[in-house]
A and B are shown apart, each in its own frame.
Chain A
Amino acid sequence: MKKIIKYVLIDLLRNRITIAYTLFLLVISLSVFNLEDNPSKGILSLLNLILIIVPLVSIVFSTIYVYNAAEFIELLVSQPLKRVNIWLSIFTGLASSMCFAFLAGCGIPVLIYAPFDVGIIMTAMGLLITIIFVAIALLASVLTRDKAKGIGVSVLLWFYFTLIFDGIVLFLLFQFIDYPMEKPMVLFSCLNPVDLARILILLKLDISALMGATSAVFRNFFGNQWGMIATVLIMITWAFMPLWWSVRKFNRKDL
């Protein structure tokens, strides 16, 4: 398994898109921090960019990579190797190279300009989001045979997690405006890893007062140590479930 990871990694690190992605993140984060004199403000601006770009690149790039590697996967499957190992190696290779790109492009500037707990949490959340979306991409690409369809599904999933989901939440909020919605909101936000990451970072930034009554409930739930651990566990589940499902599918897939 180590060997397959090694070769997937070699292939990915030489890929121009990962390098371009790293540079792109680097340019964005450096310019954001140089534009704002207050690192907290910088983090806030960066947060909104990161939560859109990182999922998009992770999911679309991983999907395209898996489709382009179809024949390579076929070649590996015809070798004396376990299918589970092949699939997990591809996941590990993809996730670690995307994480590396994020760390180099965004993590390092953040830790230089904002080396306090918000910066660390933001880097950790970015890494978790990357892993989650790589896992979702693997699931999308194992479920659909057609490349164009698979990429379409990935883009739709990204659209859902970054925009449509928030729209649904807002819609529900306005529909049930007469009822106390604070507690259900906590539950809703667990259904979207991007929202979870956003809430966790916003709470740390102390601007959560802007969010009104909901924020008080959020603070009660997410603000303390246990809330943090619960959030991270939920996010790990978000990465694990699609991956587990995709392994099951890949085991029985006809190549």
Chain B
Amino acid sequence: MIIATNVTKKFSKLTALDNVSAICNKGQTISLIGPNGSGKTTFIKCLLGMVVPDSGFITFNEKNISHNWQYRSAIGYMPQIGRYPENMTIAQVFDMMKDIRKQSAVEPDEELIHLFKLDAMLNKRMGTLSGGTRQKVSASLAFLFNPDVLILDEPTAGLDPLSTEILKDKIRKEKQKGKLVLITSHILSDLDDIVTEVIYMEEGKLRFHKSLEQLKEDTGEMKLSRAIAHIMQTP
């Protein structure tokens, strides 16, 4: 579904992505793991066309994504830090997104809005919301249009345990519908039972792309967090 070929991105002297190639297919749940500054967010932003690679190319359903914008209607993106116009209320933000992505054929998926109990505070202004509530809004927006691909950048950071579980359940549900889910997270215990594949990045390079079973087998560890710790210790 998404094929990245030799993607390289430099920010002045810093090489954020160094010849990264990856293939992501439908039905997979891929977790991007790596230390801080290893290029995970940059890679996600390249997929979304927010960062333009210096060289290499990315195709989405066999179409090159550069100079193309329609493909994004199949992607739901939850940013690491979601900030919205401070003066707008939650309801207005949702209405705006629905308005912008006028996919009348698709019934908006408002399940998360209800589960997060956002409907009780639809009239609150975005500027007054706490970080966790904003995170809930971002998550609800990502799932709102029933996209084929979900890209979640640190989805559980800032969420309370209950909301984290709600979000994980939702991800599981979408995964069963055969969607492609890309997650970055540092809280590996959150990923343990969702993820099917692991991409490990370090200093802008893609170290490996394995299925979870393969990874567990190779490291001899049963838990994802320990397996990754094992890898980070052995250079």
What residues make up the interface of A, taking CB atoms closer than 8 Å to B? 3-4, 7, 10-11, 14-15, 68-72, 74-83, 252, 254-255
Q: In the complex, given contacts A78-B50, A80-B72, A83-B69, what are 18 additional A-B residue pairs having Cβ atoms less than 8 angstroms apart?
A: A3-B99, A7-B85, A10-B88, A11-B85, A11-B88, A69-B85, A72-B85, A74-B50, A75-B79, A75-B82, A78-B77, A79-B97, A79-B101, A80-B70, A81-B69, A81-B72, A254-B9, A254-B51
Size band of the interface chain B makes with A: 20 to 34
Listed in ascending order, the chain B residues whose CB lies under 8 Å from chain A are 9, 11, 45, 48-52, 69-73, 75, 77, 79, 81-88, 92, 96-97, 99-101
Of all chain B residues, which has the CB nearest A7? B96
Q: Contacts of B48 on A, CB cut-off 8 Å?
A: 77-78
Asked if A82 and B69 sit within 8 Å, CB to CB, the answer is yes
Q: Is the beta-carbon distance between B73 and A252 smaller than 8 angstroms?
A: no
Q: A3: which of B49, B92, B100 is its contact (CB, 8 Å)? A: B100
B51 lies within 8 A of A80 (CB): no
**Chain A, interface SS category:** helix
In contact, A79 and B100 (Cβ under 8 angstroms): yes
Inter-subunit contact B69/A78 (CB<8 Å):
no
A71 touches B84 (CB 8 A): yes
Q: Which of B82, B83, B100 contacts A4 (CB 8 A)?
A: B100
| A254 and B100 within 8 A (CB) | no
A74-B50, A254-B45 known; A80 and B83 CB under 8 Å? no
Most buried by A among B69, B71, B81: B69
Say yes or no: A75 contacts B75, CB within 8 Å: no
Bound form: Cα–Cα A75–B49 in Å = 12
Q: Which residues from chain A contact B97 at a C-beta distance below 8 Å? A: 79
A6 to B57, CA, bound (A): 35
Out of B52, B85, B101, name the residue touching A80 (CB < 8 Å).
Answer: B101
What residue of chain A has the Cβ atom nearest to residue B81's Cβ?
A71
Q: Which of B11, B51, B87 counts the most A-chain CB atoms under 10 A from its CB? A: B87
| C-alpha gap A159/B45 in the complex (Å) | 37
State whether A252 touches B84 (Cβ < 8 A).
no
